Amino acid sequence: MEKTIAVLPGDGIGPEIIQQAVKVLQAVADKYQHSFHIQEYAFGGAAIDRHGQPLPDETLAACQAADAVLMGAVGGPKWDDVPKEIRPEKGLLALRKRLGLYANLRPSRLFSQLKAASPLRADISEQGFDFVIVRELTGGIYFGNHQTFEEDGQTYAEDNLRYSEAEIRRILTVAFTTAQKRNKKLCLVDKANVLDSSKLWRKICQTMASDYPDVDVNYMYVDNAAMQIVGNPGQFDTIVTENMFGDILSDVASMITGSIGMIPSASMAEGSFGLYEPIHGSAPDIAGQNIANPIGTILSTAMMLDYSLGLSKEARAIEKVVDQFLDQGYRSADTLTPGMQELSCSAIGDYIAQAI
């Protein structure tokens, strides 16, 4: 199969971890006889240095023309003083918006080999968990009207939480189909006891449920969901929620895995197009030392193969090799525990590419 992948290494550890992911993609192409056209483009701080802006036209056009985008991370202290309009994060927000990436998928899974790294109580982590949060990414309060105004001699500020039926329906479609591919359990997290927008989410979800008879649906208030993720994460399979609730809950969900460097993410547009990146940032404190953990990025390529390129067998192969890597007692610096063997960033990429 012939596919085009736009690669945005970005800043800090971005280029190091992306290099490992590209090795793995090339190994997949060789083994399964695909032809991946992989090309790198300037993005983030690196693009500010070279082109004076974080999202050059050429980069945006290449992403729009590709079947999928693979990204490292952007930002760092070097660009703290650049004008607000051209900051690296501005480039990331603009890219998400321009590519129409409305569905953010964040798996949260406790690797059985890394239980000791989780901050969860031992009896809870012992049970394990494996769920995914489907977060709406381009609507809700972050994109509503924001205003600060004077009234009755006081300053007020307001932010408006608004969703249309169409926006809710398209993210719920992603959530239902995601649940179908997993363990067929979907939990809608909302605040339907208070918010009209949440009531609309629930109503639409209830009507859509009959189109997915194989999926079990349940509903949970967001405050309870925050407790349940920490107290009994094993109950979840697929969680779907609006933008701000998803922002907060997905950080809780990544924390309980104990290792930010292991976790991939996907941001999907209409159809099968998506942008894939590890959940962590550019980690300037460890950049250039060849000690970053590339596994979150490598697992992001597995999500890309599965969701955007229709290559699920190849995706499962990568996940299996990551498990095998951990089973063998190899660890990245950030997940190292006594008795395990530390491998560098590039050695981890070599191992996984070779095992494929």
Q: What are the binding residues?
A: 76-89, 96, 106, 135, 223, 247, 251, 281-293
Report the residue number, 209 or 255, with the smaller CB distance to Mg ion.
Answer: 255
Q: Within positions 217 to 236, which residues make up the interface with ligand NAI, using CB under 6 A?
A: none
Candidate residues 268, 292, 317, 321; the one interacting with ligand NAI per rule CB under 6 A? 292
Closest CA relative to residue 340, chosen from 133, 165, 117, 164 = 117
Q: Under DSSP, is residue 237 helix (H, G, I), strand (E, B) or coil?
A: coil
Contact partner, 19, from ligand NAI, Mg ion, none, Cβ < 5-8 Å per class: none
Beta-strand (E) ranges in 269-347? Answer: 274-278, 330-331, 341-342
Q: Within positions 221 to 280, which residues make up the interface with Mg ion, using CB under 5 A?
A: 247
Q: C-beta of 239: minimal distance to ligand NAI in Å?
A: 21
Q: Is 191 an active-site residue? A: yes
CB 342 within 8 A of CB 355: no
Name the residue whose CB lies closest to ligand NAI.
281
Contact partner, 107, from Mg ion, ligand NAI, none, Cβ < 5-8 Å per class: none
Count Cβ neighbours within 10 Å for each residue of 61-95 and write b for 16 or more, e otherwise. Answer: ebbeebbbbbbbbbbbebbeebeeebbbebbbeeb
What is the C-alpha to C-alpha distance for residues 9 and 14, in angstroms, rounded to an integer? 5
User: What does the block give as tokens for 88?
Assistant: 């690296």
Report the residue number, 73 or 175, with the smaller CB distance to ligand NAI.
Answer: 73
Q: Under DSSP, is residue 125 helix (H, G, I), strand (E, B) or coil?
A: helix
The two beta strands, 185-190 and 216-221, are parallel
Q: Is 247 an active-site residue? A: yes
Contact segment (CB under 6 A) with ligand NAI among 60-68, 73-81, 180-188, 230-238 equals: 73-81
Which contiguous run of DSSP H or E holds residue 130?
strand 130-136
User: Amino acid letter at 108?
Assistant: S
**Residue the block writes with tokens 């690296």:** 88
Contact partner, 76, from Mg ion, ligand NAI, none, Cβ < 5-8 Å per class: ligand NAI
Asked if 89 is part of the footprint of Mg ion (rule: CB under 5 A), the reply reads no
Asked if 56 is part of the footprint of ligand NAI (rule: CB under 6 A), the reply reads no
Q: Is 159 an active-site residue? A: no
What track of x and - describes contact with ligand NAI for positions 82 through 121 (by CB under 6 A)? -------x--x-----------------------------
CB 112 within 8 A of CB 128: yes
Q: Is 216 an active-site residue? A: no
**In the complex, which residues of this chain contact ligand NAI (CB under 6 A)?**
13, 73-76, 89, 92, 260-261, 277, 280-286, 292-293, 296, 334
Q: Catalytic positions, please?
A: 142, 191, 223, 247, 251
